[in-house]
Chain A
């Protein structure tokens, strides 16, 4: 009976979409009747014809395909308040229509349609609650379009549309959609260069994704080889195969730095004055670094468990209260199973919560190991006392933590290995859980902009971070601590296990325009990307902008209203960001040499 209701609902929803498209057709007809200009009249009549045809019937021309895509995209946006509704591999599924229209439509016209589609995508926005506006600063819709990569057979999939979509981002210079490029062993040089060129414009797009890591990661999650090769990106950095997956990629953000704080406070939270975690031992009882790691692991187990159970309750509530019939009708095998996406109708099901603050957790543990146990220059209880006072009257100790312990992001194995382990402990725990849709939990390591509000609820930490200040973003090192240049940063970050984090990892790199000047500069940008990917990296994106410009923009926002920067997995207008996030972006080390 439930299945019957679900199936009926999909029919109602689909009929409604056809009616919706016909209303556009009626309006275009009405405008055409009143139109004096013959050219415009013809355009309107063509629009009316197309809107009467799609999405009810299959598109045949490129313009019909774009229109059909737009209706579907728009209606999915209308159906729910969710974000990250991603067009994914537009250059692949629209290519047959492009090829079919090649004789009747010039490339200039195709480009114009794509540019217009960019404008339409920028017209979408949703009302969010206050917490969401902080975690996803800058009104992003996370609509990710991805180009390039391999096709289902493993061959290079670059085509004319791949390049034109990159050009559309360059032409419009707007913050949406999120544009990504898939890179594999045999990526066409022309695509790589074009992507680097657009990257150099400073819009923060495209993001680069590594087929060589992501395809095996998806295989390990049970996708078929063909499906894994056909992945696109949802939202910021979350890979999945379109039309077959309910990935719930933004299942939660998890504050790793808070776990450090609770580890040092025996599970007691100063902020709420409550015992929120298990008692894993007072610092006075921790006699070795292993004791600290054991306590950290236990706290992690407890809180990851809490998070996954909470996720599953929400998941059940989604299925019972807010199934999405139209979206479900577009995803295999909801119709076959007679189940909505929210009840497990899709072929692949995941829940993906993100760890935030890897660099803080890693550097905090590294400082403890180095200074409290290896060199014994400060005892752990003494350190805790200093942290409790938020370094008041102990700036020298804070400086010691900052300058005298190795830091993640400098290709220093001492610090990097601890950062990797602190992340692995989180990932291993997440991997243990399953969701009510019959799928598995898979960890990611990216923050959107949650690293800023998350920092707000964490006391001072042993990485030298003061109470309430932002956490590091994504898998990037702490801003200002990566002093050994971008090659060292990339080498460090590549040491993380980017396959187990199949819900995505995110590396932001900022370059001064001088560093990417000329063709040689583009080649260097590609070389950094390519080396990161050969070493197993997952995703990297570049902010090419100098600090001076950002400082000026902060001072005189009215003059920089159009300045677009990469936040984390998405771009936003710089002046629309909260000051704390602006500061955070500015403090991400600028790689200039």
Chain B
């Protein structure tokens, strides 16, 4: 999103308005690790999975949310003054930050509008396909020059199937390469109708063991794996992504099972290893949510290489970091 859209559009917060709209929480330009070339990444809000290591907690809920970035707060107290719901109050002790009562908050956006320091933000905006196209078109020459395009990510982009389909169709119609980054957790008929407009699929395999998968993400992996097999039969190029979480899914047996599964597919461009990182941890604080994966350290480069050596030896096309 450009500066103005990111910061200054306070008028339509939380308002679906008329017509088909998608709830997005970010647009990132010059994305270079998600599907080839220079891309624009569109992040749709809401996700059916609850992965313990999720680095985008603000992407999970299917509604706009309010965040508070402590470091940016200059303590001017304007938010306390303008909140019509009385949902913001000063912390008890001196020097303490403000506290947002999320039960009372109506997401009217007044606090964010008056927070000049940008400490309070509303995450999530409803946009129409034409609005989105305006942003996407601005970087068209970069896509053409670099072999890039547009990637829909999330959250889970397929969780807003009608909007996603309409956006993808429009982008493809204009000759721009399309990709989606998805969990592949959705009914096949809906998935198939989306895939008609997709040039490249980036999809995760988080764990091969169903029980473990449920424990880690809250859902079964059966539908996910079935869907990935079906995409293979359609012949759409796929990059499989494996978030590598130390002690969680990086055992020899799970990596081997993942490799065996991937080897049965016919359309895989690469297996991308995404090493766990804790950059998302601070975002949990900003949302007043506790971080579910406490105590897990980011793996070292050596650890990652040691873990995936066997995968490389099998002859798989591995990339680290997407």
Contact = CB atoms under 8 A, between A and B. Distances in A.
A396 B145 contact: no
B24 to A, nearest CB: 15
Nearest to B147: A523
B32 A515 contact: yes
Contacts of B31: 593
Interface string B74-88: 101010000000000
A584 interface: no
A531 B142 contact: yes
Interface string A488-517: 100100000000000000000000000100
Interface in B45-84: 74, 76, 78
Contacts of B29: 484-485, 487-488
A530 B145 CA distance: 7
A170 interface: no
B3 A485 contact: no
Interface in B96-128: 116-118
Contacts of A535: 141
B317 interface: no
Interface in B1-55: 1-4, 6-8, 28-33, 36-38
> Which of A406, A515, A535 has the most chain B CB within a 10 Å cutoff?
A406
A523 B2 contact: no
A8 interface: no
Interface in A399-427: 399-400, 402-404, 406-407, 410-412, 414-415
- How many B residues touch the partner, as a band? 20 to 34
Given A404-B8, A485-B30, A396 B2 contact: no
Nearest to B135: A411
Contacts of B36: 520
A91 B50 CA distance: 60
A403 B112 CA distance: 11
B139 interface: yes
B116 A486 contact: no
A410 B3 contact: yes
Contacts of A484: 1-3, 6, 29
Tell me the interface secondary structure of chain B in the complex.
loop
A487 B117 contact: no
Contact of B142 (A399, A400, A520, A528): A528
B26 to A, nearest CB: 11
B38 A487 contact: yes
A483 B5 CA distance: 12
A133 B30 CA distance: 37
Tell me the interface secondary structure of chain A in the complex.
helix
A534 B143 CA distance: 13
Contacts of A400: 116
Contact of B78 (A396, A403, A410, A530): A396
B116 A403 contact: yes
B30 A486 contact: yes
A527 interface: yes
A395 interface: yes
B30 A483 contact: no
Nearest to A488: B29
A546 to B, nearest CB: 15
Interface string B140-179: 0110011110000000000000000000000000000000
B294 interface: no
Given A411-B138, A535-B141, A396 B117 contact: yes
B74 A396 contact: yes
Given A396-B78, A403-B116, A487 B142 contact: yes
A407 B148 CA distance: 26
> Which of B28, B29, B31, B117 has the most chain A CB within a 10 Å cutoff?
B29
A524 B38 contact: yes
Nearest to B33: A593
B145 A411 contact: no
B117 A523 contact: no
A411 B139 CA distance: 10
Contacts of A524: 32, 37-38, 146
Contacts of A342: none
A591 B30 contact: yes
Given A484-B3, A485-B29, A487-B30, A527 B138 contact: no
Contacts of B28: 485, 593
A239 B3 CA distance: 34
A515 B146 CA distance: 14
A487 B4 contact: no
Contact of A527 (B1, B6, B7, B145): B145
A397 B4 CA distance: 18
B318 to A, nearest CB: 14
Interface of B: 1-4, 6-8, 28-33, 36-38, 74, 76, 78, 116-118, 138-139, 141-142, 145-148
Query: 6 shortest A-B CB distances, which residue pairs?
Result: A527-B146, A400-B116, A485-B30, A410-B3, A399-B116, A527-B145
